[in-house]
Amino acid sequence: MSLQRDEVRAIFSGIVSSYDFLNHFLSLGMDFLWRRALARGLSLHEGEYVLDMACGTGDTALAIARAWRVNVFGLDFSHQMLIRGREKAKGTGICFLQGRAEQAPFRSASFDAISIAFGIRNLPDEDARMRGLKEFHRLLKPGGRLAVLEFSCPRFFPFRAYIKYLVPFIGNFVSRSNAYTYLRDTIAEFPDQEAFAGMMTGAGFRQVRWRDFTGGVATLYIGEKPL
């Protein structure tokens, strides 16, 4: 399912009230562990600057801020999501800004690390995803790390059936929207692990590796900008 940016923004802006609950409920709480693994995978140092792209309501930015003594920025295209993120992150020092992943409002080589969790899949097509990856590369300092956490097509049939049937049924019912049908369809269309790692390499990243979680329901990709 390929939607235009404004349509995707409308989907996410319309489910803010149920978004966090459904993330945790539908993942059976595993999303906390996946985000924690992303934060650890960045291998940060005190005082470094980190940008969480497509930050949504701030769960990944918060996981990074709790794991490391660093300066965290969150960027998202949905104003409503950012309002919720700012409420959750009061007192943490996280700075939330509105903007697009493919055209971020920062100078080149501004960040020591960039993360994006369950966001790059929402860019409308492969060309947009490649533009996003190249933008992340531009924003990173030489030697900087990129961590991408994204849904994958699970290897095991029970997990595939859960995502195909139960996730959209429960998610759409609770959120009173079709957002979780969109989620299911975009997971099915997203490149597999080898293909997406190849895209990261094509965007200029090196030492690209990945790690599957929960039978391949989610995958963490790590890459580095060459020195």
Q: What is the CATH number of the domain that holds 65?
A: 3.40.50.150
Number of domains into which the chain is organized: 1
In contact, 86 and 64? CB cutoff 8 Å:
no
Q: Where are the alpha helices (DSSP H) in 3-78?
A: 5-13, 16-26, 30-41, 59-67
Per-residue model confidence (pLDDT) at position 5: 72
Per-residue model confidence (pLDDT) at position 12: 87
- Residue 174 domain boundaries: 5-224
Burial of 53 (0-12, 13-18, 19+ CB in 10 A): buried
SS3 content of the chain, % helix, strand, coil (to 5): 50, 20, 30
Burial of 196 (0-12, 13-18, 19+ CB in 10 A): buried
Per-residue pLDDT of the chain (227 residues; tens, 9 = 90+): 556 777 888 888 889 999 999 999 999 999 999 999 999 999 999 999 999 999 999 999 999 999 999 999 999 999 999 999 999 999 999 999 999 988 899 999 999 999 999 999 999 889 999 999 999 999 999 999 999 999 999 888 889 899 999 999 999 999 999 999 999 999 999 999 999 999 999 999 999 999 999 999 999 999 999 99
Per-residue model confidence (pLDDT) at position 73: 98
Per-residue model confidence (pLDDT) at position 3: 67
- Give the Å distances, CA to CA, from 89 to 9, 16, 121: 22, 16, 25
At residue 68, φ and ψ (nearest 5 deg) are -140, 155
Q: What angle do CA 146, 149, 154 make, to 5 degrees?
A: 140
How far is it, in rounded angstroms, from Cα 76 to Cα 80? 10
Token duo for residue 126: 């492969």
What is the residue whose two structure tokens read 């992150």? 89
At residue 196, φ and ψ (nearest 5 deg) are -70, -40
How far is it, in rounded angstroms, from Cα 19 to Cα 193? 26
Q: Determine the 3-state secondary structure of 70 from DSSP.
A: coil
The one-letter amino acid code at 121 reads: R
